[in-house]
Amino acid sequence: MFSRVYLGMHSINQVLFGLMIGCYSMVVYYMFAEHWLYTHCLRYLSEGTSHIRNFFVCCAAFLVMCLYQCLITYLASFDVQ
């Protein structure tokens, strides 16, 4: 992580900002999203309906979580003055 500062690629505030975004993402995922994703995907996959439909529902849930994370990272990158 700090090799980026040593090599001159980033300043220390950029490295710490990235660390904060990563910690925020981890906390939000493990506290809120992981349980919801596991319970819903396992419920859809264990039902006797079409496996293709269930696969697409799980992929859609994963895609929504990824888009949410991208949105949070994008909004957090603005320089608030």
Q: What is the structure's pLDDT at 48? A: 66
Res 81 pLDDT > 50:
no
Q: Is 57 helix (H, G, I), strand (E, B) or coil?
A: helix
4 occurs within a structural domain: no
50 occurs within a structural domain: yes
In this prediction the pTM is: 0.49
Higher-confidence residue: 2 or 57?
Answer: 57
The gap between the terminal CA atoms of the chain, to the nearest Å, is 27
Q: How many domains does the chain have?
A: 1
Is residue 60 very low, low, confident or very high in pLDDT (cuts 50, 70, 90)? confident
Q: Please state the rounded mean pLDDT for residues 12-27.
A: 82
1 occurs within a structural domain: no
Is residue 80 very low, low, confident or very high in pLDDT (cuts 50, 70, 90)? low
DSSP structure string for 15-50: HHHHHHHHHHHHHHIIIIIHHHHHHHHHHHHHSSS-
Query: 37: domain range?
Result: 22-81
